[in-house]
Chain A
Amino acid sequence: MPKDNLNQDNIEISRRKMMGLVVGVINLGLIGAIVGPMVGFAAAPLGNKRKSRWVELMDESRIKPGEVKEVNYSLLVVDGYHEVEQKFTVFLRRSEEDVICIDPACTHLGCRVDYHADQHKFICPCHGGVFDDEGTNKSGPPPKPLERHPVKVEAGKIWISREV
């Protein structure tokens, strides 16, 4: 009889263990069921890819060799749930041979650099990054040159391409 009793107890214990295990598994499932989709939903923008677009900026004749010019333009871009006319700024620099297009976002942490014509330098107001007039980083924290956008000159017009 005592032996039997012991068996009963063992069965009881394993039954309890089993049920506890099932509860645990169900709970894990519940957490997964809400956390999984939640993370996927929040991270959805990671899947968006940007496309390059060519934009006509201005007449080639309006910039002289050796000059650096700030150009503002706007583009219709999709910003989340709406399409907006977004403003952009770039710097065009013309040398004897070609035209380059420099993006004003500082390569350190993204502040907008200013061009100082008298010194031929781009200077970042945030942490004092300095770039030469070709966008090469000269001093301060920026780790690499300012980014460039592809440029083409067609029928006397300057076009640049940018990803939006």
Chain B
Amino acid sequence: MSQKTYKPKDAPTLSPEVKVDEPREAVSSEERLQIERPSLRDWMDLRLGWYGFVRKNLDEPMPAGVGWWQTLGNLLMTLLVFQFITGFALAMYYSPSPDSAHASVKHLTYEVGLGSFIRGLHSWGSTVIVIAVVLHMLRVFFWGSYKKPRELTWVVGVIIFQVILGFSFTGYLLPWDQKAYWATVVGTRIAATIPVVGHALLVFIRGGEEVGALTLTRFYSFHVMLLPASLILFTFLHLYLVRRHHIAGPVTPAKGAPVPFYPNQLFKDAIVLLFGVGLLIYLAVALPPGLEAIADPTGTDFSPRPEWYFLGLYELLKVMPSGWEVVATVIIPTGITIGMFALPWLDRSKSRHPAKRQWIIMSGFAAILLIGLMTLKGILETPPEHKKSEATLAESNDIPKAEATQLESLGE
């Protein structure tokens, strides 16, 4: 039934059993061009070659044993499309200037119809994407699917991962509220801890000495131009490579012949999409996005915190002794990143079986445990709600009150 859907009327019937690895042109293009008066659909197909393309992808062989774990890539793709669409919509109302950014976000969230929902989809989308990307990477890691010949599929994946983190770092500033402002003050200062070039890099990232108008336009330009363009490029490269090398089967080959992508795998993909996107919509409705007081460089009663998936790094910064911060800000993150890029070459074993590459699996577990525990610690220590900061323009003479709770948590 699937095959009928994509077959021009005059194409001869294919044998029902699908032979994999063999490009199938039902009729040579030479022959098909001779069709006297093609239907509109045939005509489109003859000009675009759509039929062959769709067919080829629907017939993509899935080795036996491929299943639910391989649906995450498709979920990611869909979530990315959602991000693009909601981002495009938000940009219709957003204005990237310290004078107006906060007001424009407030307006679009609370006054524009469906504003809270669209913004909720976009901000929860970033969270769900990070979770899905991490699961996708873990599955590739434990399956050893990054091994020959899929090294570059993995490398491009690591680049995509960096781009996604870039998106969330730049996007976080855009609402220009307290949370946004302070997370960016601290986040950009990380660059300044790099020896020698640190300060120049800081000024370059901020567009000046302080986080201000030029930081906002800079981040906006990255968030809506450079990062989306690179994400599209690398995602297509990734998908091209995935198709070129085909999906790897289970580490111990399962019995049975490969089956075409359609309908079995596509069905599983659709079920996962139903739940993944369902969860996203639920989150956007049930937990609508908030907005804190406008960015205030003098505000006292605010303790800056980054987005939850940077909390691991944040906690790491806390435990680093004075003078060692470059270890937490640069050395460990760079080390992990280099390790990820180099993984296909660090892991020399021929076999993809976890038992045959113990030290890689062990270091993977160690890294996951470290990042997971640190993130968990950060989440558990997050204070429930921030107090609104009351900004006074003129000089104020009140000496700040001691905050007993904060002192307690410091163990003083």
Q: How many A-B residue pairs have CB under 8 A?
A: 141
CA gap between A47 and B82 in the complex, in Å:
40
Q: Is the CB of A72 within 8 A of B394?
A: yes
Question: Whole-angstrom distance from the CB of B262 to the nearest CB of chain A?
Answer: 42
Tell me which of B190, B296, B318 has the highest count of chain A C-beta atoms within 10 A of its own C-beta: B318
Residue A66 lies at the interface, judged by CB distance under 8 Å to chain B:
no
Which residues from 17 to 39 on chain A have a C-beta closer than 8 Å to any C-beta of chain B?
A: none
Q: Is the CB of B296 within 8 A of A141?
A: no
Q: With A50-B209, A72-B298, A128-B318 in contact, do A80 and B325 touch (Cβ < 8 Å)?
A: no
Q: Is the CB of B400 within 8 A of A117?
A: yes
What chain B residues lie within 8 Å of A141 (beta carbons)?
A: 317-318, 320-322, 325
Residue B217 lies at the interface, judged by CB distance under 8 Å to chain A:
yes
Residue B204 lies at the interface, judged by CB distance under 8 Å to chain A:
yes
CA gap between A150 and B314 in the complex, in Å:
33
Residue A3 lies at the interface, judged by CB distance under 8 Å to chain B:
no
CA gap between A123 and B391 in the complex, in Å:
20
Chain B 384-404 near chain A by CB (<8 Å), digits 1 or 0: 000000011111111110110
CA gap between A128 and B381 in the complex, in Å:
13
CA gap between A149 and B407 in the complex, in Å:
28
Q: Is the CB of B317 within 8 A of A79?
A: no
Which residues from 290 to 346 on chain B have a C-beta closer than 8 Å to any C-beta of chain A?
A: 296-300, 302-304, 314, 317-318, 320-323, 325
Residue B182 lies at the interface, judged by CB distance under 8 Å to chain A:
yes
Q: How many residues on A have C-beta within 8 angstroms of the other chain's C-beta atoms?
A: 49
CA gap between A140 and B317 in the complex, in Å:
10
Question: Whole-angstrom distance from the CB of B304 to the nearest CB of chain A?
Answer: 5
What chain A residues lie within 8 Å of B207 (beta carbons)?
A: 45, 80
What chain B residues lie within 8 Å of A125 (beta carbons)?
A: 302-304, 406
Q: Is the CB of A87 within 8 A of B214?
A: no
Residue B410 lies at the interface, judged by CB distance under 8 Å to chain A:
yes
Within 8 Å by CB of A79, from B214, B391, B392, lies B214
Residue A116 lies at the interface, judged by CB distance under 8 Å to chain B:
yes
Q: Is the CB of B407 within 8 A of A116?
A: yes
Residues of B within 8 A of A (CB): 98-99, 182, 185-186, 189-190, 193, 200, 203-204, 206-210, 212-214, 217, 296-300, 302-304, 314, 317-318, 320-323, 325, 391-400, 402-403, 406-407, 410, 412
